[in-house]
Every structure is written in structure tokens, then in C-alpha cells.
A and B are shown apart, each in its own frame.
Chain A
Amino acid sequence: MNKSLLTLLLTLYICIGPASLAQAEPEAEQVLVGWVEKVSVNDHDFALHAKIDSGADNTSINTVNPEYYEKDGQRWVKFKVTNDEGKTLVIDKPIVRTTKIKTKDGGRQKRDVIELDLCLGKIKKTVRVSLVDRSHFKYQLLVGRSYLRPEFLIDSGRRYLVEPDCGKN
């Protein structure tokens, strides 16, 4: 390899080699969403305004007045969620897990977990969702990292960049 070709290649490498910060080009499939988005739940024509939260491990949904019962030896839960548009969805699901959450004062709290199909933009994913009383929070649904990776990127300066559009099954 001659010297000038080597110099050319070296110069090219220096110019277009690894940048000091990962350039924000989404990997082929990644979708940019805002810090609040409408997310539809369980294939119904029902969406909740959701906080898109990189600081949360998991996803939680507002659970008020849950009814617990047994079916086929498993614990089930039934509750209603009403969205800002006045529409009500009944969620009736088996509890897949109960987790212990660490609270700020060092205590422990139990949280039941169910599975829901959530649609954000054109992507539908089944995800484990914790049942939490979120009635004192602004957003009834909190979407955490376990749902968001690897498909989504978050722009914390914008909201409502996508519409739920996963089609009907």
C-alpha cells in the first residue's frame, strides 16, 4: 500500500471515525416518542395518557377499587379504568406475580402484577404491569424501561409525537 493512499485512509478515518458522543441516529427500528404519549390498552379502542419514564424500571397502571377473586387456583383481579375522554375499560386478569417495592422511608410495599397488551405508536407489546393507586398523579399510566427497550427513544422536550396505531386483531 503506498504512502499517499495510507495518508488518505488515515485522514478519512479521523474525519468519520467514532465521535465523542454517540450520534443520535436511531438504530433502524427505533421510534422517537415524547415524555407523554397516548397508549392503547388491550386492543380496545381505549387509550390512556401515559408518562414515558426512563427513570422507572417497570410499567404501572392506575388501579382503584380492585376486586380480588380465585379462579382455577389462581388469584385474579378485576377493576375499571376510565380515561380522560370518559371511556371505561374493565380489566380482568390473573395476577402473574407479586413484587416487593422499596419505599422512600426504607419500608416495603407489595405490588400485584398482571400482563397487558400496550400499543405505543405502531408497536404493540405484552408487558407486565404493576397495579398502583395513581389517582393522585396526573397520568394514569406510567411506562417504564422494561416496555421501552429496545424500540423506543425519548425526547423529554416534546409530547405526543405518535398516535396508537396497532390495528385490530
Chain B
Amino acid sequence: MAKIKKKKLGWREWIALPQLGIDAIKAKIDTGARTSALHAFDLKVVQQNGQRIARFKVHPFQKDLDKVVECEAPVIDERDVTDSGGHRERRLVIETEVIIGDIQRRIEVTLTDRDNMLFRMLLGRTAIKHDFIVDPGKSFLTKQSDDT
């Protein structure tokens, strides 16, 4: 059998969002979602040199409401997204770098209020399809997950 060039991810991985100042955030690897999503609160949009900038806060650790990271990113779009419950929501879309294991890639991320959901971050198909395949029976397969 030919060796697959893509690397393996579990259904949960620790990843980094370096441009947002987030060194580690646990992400659900979600082949059922097209776009990635990030839980954000206190979301504001400002104009800077004719460009819309999103300013928002993130709790990178699920159970730690004291740890807050303040983030900023250019808004590239606004999109209607349907979640797993069938609810449609209009969300801001930002573009930012993600580090998954050894791979760093620029991805689109929608900002959402995921307060009731377990994961702060969801990586969708478009973020992972170029570099990875997913083993839904495993978790934390990347070296980054070892270090965390």
C-alpha cells in the first residue's frame, strides 16, 4: 500500500493561533464542518485605514474563565453559518495563522459565541484537508499536544 503523505490528527488536538496571541487552545477536529470557528466574546469591529478590524476576547482554556486573551484580526467577510443543531447565524470571518503540529497555515475562522459548547475552537475541513487525515478514534497525536 502506498504511503500517505498527509499526517494524522486525532479528533481533538492542541493548536496555536500565534497572530492572536494564543499559544495553546484545544480544538475539535471537525470533518463535519466546512469552516473553522472560534469562541469569542466582547466582540467589537473598528475601522483602521479603511479596513474593518475585529477586536475580541477568548478564554483559551475551557474551564478557566480567569484566563483571557485579547485579540485583533482583520475582518475579511460576513457569512451565514449553519451549526450542527441546524441554526443559522451570521458570523464575522477573520483570517489568521494556525499552527497544527509542524504545519503553519493561514485559515479563515468565523467568530461565534460558543459559551455552551465544550470546545473553544473548531477546525473545519478547509483548514485541515491539505495536510492531514483524521483518526476519529484518537486524540492529541501532534507533538504540540505532547508539549502541552
What is the number of residues of chain A that contact chain B, defined by CB distance less than 8 Å? 35
- The 8 Å CB contact of B136, one of A22, A23, A103, A154, is A154
- Cβ distance A63 to chain B, nearest Cβ, rounded Å: 14
Q: Which residues of B contact A105 (CB under 8 A)?
A: 116
Q: Does B122 contact A (CB under 8 A)?
A: yes
A149 proximity list for chain B (CB < 8 A): 135-138
- Distance from A33 Cβ to chain B, minimum over Cβ atoms (Å): 10
Q: Of A1-9, A47-55, A115-123, which binds chain B?
A: A47-55
Give the shortest distance, in Å, between B61 (CB) and chain A (any CB).
20
Which of B3, B8, B31, B130 interacts with A55 by CB under 8 Å? Answer: B31
The answer, yes or no, to whether B24 is at the interface (CB within 8 Å) is no
Judged by a CB distance under 8 angstroms, whether B50 is at the interface is no
Contacting residue for B32 out of A24, A26, A142, A153, CB 8 A: A142
Residues of A within 8 A of B43 (CB): none
**Number of B residues with CB within 8 Å of any CB on chain A:** 38
B32 contacts A56, C-beta separation under 8 Å? yes
The digit string for B22-57, where 1 denotes a CB below 8 A from any CB of A, is 000000111111000000000000000000000000
| CB of A16, distance to nearest CB on chain B (Å) | 14
Q: How far is the CA of A52 from the CA of B31 in the complex (A)?
A: 7
When distances are taken between beta carbons in the complex, the residues of chain A under 8 Å from B29 are: 54-55
In the complex formed, the residue of B with least CB distance to A135 is B86
Contact in complex: B133, A153 (CB < 8 Å): yes
Q: A35-B31, A55-B30 are in contact. Are A21 and B101 (CB under 8 A)?
A: yes
Shortest Cβ distance from B138 into chain A, in angstroms?
8
> Chain B contacts of A103 at CB under 8 A?
85
Q: Which parts of B116-148 form the interface with A (CB within 8 Å)? A: 116-117, 122, 125, 128-130, 132-138, 141-143
Q: Which chain A residues lie closer than 8 Å to B105 at the CB level? A: none
B137 to A24, Cβ gap below 8 A? no
Provide the residues of chain B in CB contact with A35, threshold 8 Å. Answer: 31-32, 125
- B83 CB–A CB distance under 8 Å: yes
Interface of A is mostly: loop
Q: A21-B8, A35-B31, A54-B11 are in contact. Are A155 and B101 (CB under 8 A)?
A: no
Instruction: Kindly report which residue of chain B lies nearest to residue A149, judged by CB atoms.
Output: B137
Report A128-162 CB contacts with B as 1/0, cut-off 8 Å.
Answer: 00000000110000101100111011111100000
Contacts A55-B33, A102-B116, A148-B136 given; indicate if A25 touches B84 (C-beta within 8 A).
no
Sample of 17 more A-B contacts, CB < 8 Å, known A24-B133, A145-B11: A21-B141, A21-B143, A23-B3, A24-B7, A54-B31, A55-B31, A56-B84, A103-B85, A105-B116, A142-B32, A145-B136, A152-B136, A154-B136, A155-B129, A156-B125, A156-B128, A157-B130
Q: List 9 A-B contacts (CB under 8 A).
A: A24-B133, A25-B3, A32-B133, A35-B32, A54-B31, A104-B85, A145-B137, A153-B134, A154-B135
